[in-house]
């Protein structure tokens, strides 16, 4: 039996239920994992609330975790019991044990701990595609990162700095500003004390930035467009403040022939080769110490309701884990 966090219906954190679930033997192409650390991500709250509909209910939440292989399916040769693995995007992560397709996991090097892996696979691979594929950041550029003290934000700031960029970040408090600055953010703007557009334009001498990485959504969208230079790109990859309201695409023309994209990690790791390449590059920068994985919250699995409440109340910084 495994302990799992499931929902019978969508809603607030109160719909989360910790219960026992039988786990069958792994089938063809699967391994069974004993999970050691589970990542908590904002997308989990979207699935719980119904903002991002799940295929069906009841459902076990979660997308990211690390663990040890305890059994392999009859046709699995590439992994064996005792192997340490992690994954970024496979439904059903909130569990002490689970079966998972081999194609969804990557083997962990000895230089990466289980907790690091669970805290960074989804967030780190998101930062990887944003910086290397959605908008390849180059040395000497100035970029804007929203939620710079969040799980993705801290990795984005460090990795962008490694690439030679100057990083402007927005945060929700002075404490978060200090954390962002300690992780590669050159200029941290506390947006709760006012808007951020004026400060961004001041820092860029009125030119604006070529790219904005925005995981906040509704409350930052309009000002983000105003921070872009002509032909700039707004990368809207999350909506912590709510979904962006419909708008006329003519706004993009009026503000300087701007570009807008709404990418997802799932698309960028749909091919196994892309998952392996991204994970290899992520493991390298973390192993070398160029990117630090900041785990600031770790809750017992039984306290998942509190974890979701803290996340949605923006009480968390860095990465958040559930510990089975």
Could you report the per-residue pLDDT of 37-90, keeping only the tens digit for each? 999 999 999 999 999 999 999 999 999 999 999 999 999 999 999 999 999 999
Phi/psi-derived region of residue 185, left when phi > 0, alpha when psi is between -120 and 50, beta in every other case:
beta
pLDDT tens readout for residues 196-219: 999 999 999 999 999 999 999 999
pLDDT at residue 183, as a whole number = 96
pLDDT tens readout for residues 3-35: 999 999 999 999 999 999 999 999 999 999 999
The residue-averaged pLDDT of 117-122 equals 97
For every residue of 89-103, DSSP letters joined together read: S-S--SBSEEEEEGG
User: Distance (Å, rounded) from C-alpha 158 to C-alpha 183?
Assistant: 6
The residue-averaged pLDDT of 154-164 equals 97
pLDDT tens readout for residues 82-118: 999 999 999 999 999 999 999 999 999 999 999 999 9
Residue 193 pLDDT > 80: no
Among the four given CATH numbers 3.40.50.1820, 3.90.180.10, 3.30.420.40, 3.90.1650.10, the one describing domain 2-120+292-323: 3.90.180.10
- Minimal CA–CA distance to 124: which of 93, 80, 155? 155
Q: Which CATH architecture has domain 139-262?
A: 3-Layer(aba) Sandwich (3.40)
pLDDT tens readout for residues 225-279: 999 999 999 999 998 888 899 999 999 999 999 999 999 999 999 999 999 999 9
Domain ranges of the chain: 2-120+292-323, 139-262
Residue 182: Cβ-neighbour burial (10 angstroms; 0-12, 13-18, 19+): middle
Residue 314 pLDDT > 90: no
User: Distance (Å, rounded) from C-alpha 134 to C-alpha 49?
Assistant: 28
User: Distance (Å, rounded) from C-alpha 241 to C-alpha 318?
Assistant: 18
Residue with the two structure tokens 């969804």: 104
The residue-averaged pLDDT of 146-171 equals 96
The residue-averaged pLDDT of 120-136 equals 97
Q: Is the pTM of this model over 0.85?
A: yes
pLDDT at residue 287, as a whole number = 97
72 bridge partner residues:
31
Residue with the two structure tokens 């990211």: 64
pLDDT tens readout for residues 293-305: 989 899 999 999 9
Of the listed ranges 161-165, 193-197, 312-316, the one predicted with least confidence: 193-197
pLDDT at residue 317, as a whole number = 84
For every residue of 9-39, DSSP letters joined together read: S-SSGGG-EEEEE--PPP-TTEEEEEEEEEE
H or E element that contains 250: helix 250-254
Beta-carbon count within 10 A of 308 CB:
25
Of the listed ranges 168-172, 231-235, 314-318, the one predicted with least confidence: 314-318
């Amino acid at each position: 039996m495994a302990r799992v966090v499931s929902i019978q219906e969508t809603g607030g954190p109160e719909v989360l239920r910790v219960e026992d679930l039988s786990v069958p033997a792994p089938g063809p192409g699967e391994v069974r994992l004993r999970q050691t650390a589970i990542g908590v991500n904002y997308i989990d709250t979207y699935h719980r609330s119904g903002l991002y509909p799940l295929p069906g209910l009841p459902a076990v939440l979660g997308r990211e975790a690390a663990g040890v292989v305890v059994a392999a399916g009859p046709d699995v040769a590439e992994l064996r019991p005792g192997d340490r693995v992690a994954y970024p995007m496979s439904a059903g992560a909130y569990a002490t044990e689970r079966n998972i397709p081999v194609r969804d996991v990557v083997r962990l090097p000895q230089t990466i701990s289980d907790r690091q892996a669970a805290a960074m696979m989804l967030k780190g691979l998101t930062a990887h595609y944003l910086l290397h594929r959605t908008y390849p950041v180059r040395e000497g550029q100035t970029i804007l990162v929203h939620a710079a003290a969040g799980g993705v934000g801290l990795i984005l700031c460090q990795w962008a700095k490694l690439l030679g960029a100057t990083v402007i970040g927005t945060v929700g408090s002075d404490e978060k500003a200090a954390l962002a600055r300690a992780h590669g953010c050159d200029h941290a703007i506390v947006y709760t004390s006012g808007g951020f557009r004026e400060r961004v334009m001041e820092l860029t001498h009125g030119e604006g930035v070529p790219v904005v990485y925005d995981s906040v959504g509704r409350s930052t969208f309009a000002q983000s467009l105003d921070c872009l230079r002509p032909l700039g790109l707004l990368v809207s990859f999350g909506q912590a403040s709510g979904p962006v309201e419909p708008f006329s695409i003519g706004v993009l023309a009026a503000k300087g022939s701007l570009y807008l994209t709404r990418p997802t990690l799932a698309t960028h790791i749909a091919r196994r080769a892309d998952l392996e390449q991204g994970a290899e590059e992520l493991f390298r920068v973390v192993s070398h110490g160029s990117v630090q994985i900041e785990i600031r919250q770790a809750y017992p699995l039984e306290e998942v309701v509190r974890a979701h409440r803290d996340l949605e109340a923006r009480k968390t910084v860095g990465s958040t884990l559930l510990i089975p």
